[in-house]
Amino acid sequence: MTTPIEYIVDDIVLRSPETLGILIEVQRSVGKGYGVFATKNIPVGSLILSEAPLVVLIDHGSRVDPLDTAVNALSPARRKAYRRLCSYRHRPSETLNRSILYSNGFAVGETTTGVFELASRINHSCTPNCAFAWNEELGTMVFKNCCELSQGQELTINYGHHKGHLKKFYGFECDCGSCTE
């Protein structure tokens, strides 16, 4: 659990990660499931979100899937939040926990993957309006907008894959128009 930290964004003092409902909200995104949207105009370079992972996975190659152990160890509310995330099963043998991890995971260090309750709702664009970086000291993924956002605009990040990989691993055809093959 990270200690809440105060940030000043656009004259509002925020306690991390309480930007939900103030700067951003989760809504349906046409053809993409859910997405994260700006609730107001947000100047470039604002702190949009600083969130600790719901689940982290460091795979040590044990026979028992350490992901199942990590998910089972969550509180019922956090386990429910994990299981409610979207999942694209890219192989029939993949477990639901694994599909959720692969569809929603971010690298949080060299060998660690993190899944986030809110950040994992952000959709992809090859020309994204937000950038993110893992902050080791805070133990949070920090998101800032790289251009001005208007109220109601969807936040996007680049998942870091070309078109074919987005289809194969996330199950969607990117139609942003700037994809690389």
Pair 70, 55: CB distance under 8 Å: yes
Q: How far is Cα 121 from Cα 160, in angstroms, rounded to an integer?
A: 16
Q: Which of 89, 90, 161, 171 binds ligand SAM (CB under 6 A)?
A: 171
- 134 in contact with ligand SAM (CB under 6 A): no
Of residues 31-50, which lie at the interface with ligand SAM (CB under 6 A)?
A: 31-35
What 8-14 contacts at long range (C-beta under 8 Å, 24+ apart), as own/partner pairs, is 9/42, 9/46, 9/47, 10/40, 10/42, 10/43, 10/46, 14/47
Contact between 140 and ligand SAM per CB under 6 A = no
Distance separating alpha carbons of residues 27 and 154, to the nearest angstrom: 9
Contact call for residue 94 and ligand SAM (CB under 6 A) = no
* Contact positions with ligand SAM (CB under 6 A) in 66-85: 85
Are the C-beta atoms of 130 and 48 separated by less than 8 Å?
yes
Instruction: Specify the DSSP class assigned to residue 3.
Output: P
Question: Please, what is the minimum distance in Å from the beta carbon of residue 42 to ligand SAM?
Answer: 20
Shortest Cβ 61–ligand SAM spacing (Å):
26
Contact call for residue 121 and ligand SAM (CB under 6 A): yes
Query: What is the DSSP secondary-structure string of 106-128?
Result: EE-SSSEEEE-TTGGGPEE-SS-
Q: With respect to ligand SAM, which residue has the nearer C-beta, 60 or 91?
A: 91
* Contact status: 104 vs ligand SAM (CB under 6 A): yes
**Does residue 145 contact residue 49 with C-beta atoms inside 8 Å?**
no
Q: Is 7 in the site for ligand SAM (CB under 6 A)?
A: no
Binding residue for ligand SAM (CB under 6 A) from 103, 129, 140, 145?
103
**Positions that interact with ligand SAM (CB under 6 A):** 31-35, 85-86, 88, 103-104, 120-121, 123-125, 170-172, 174
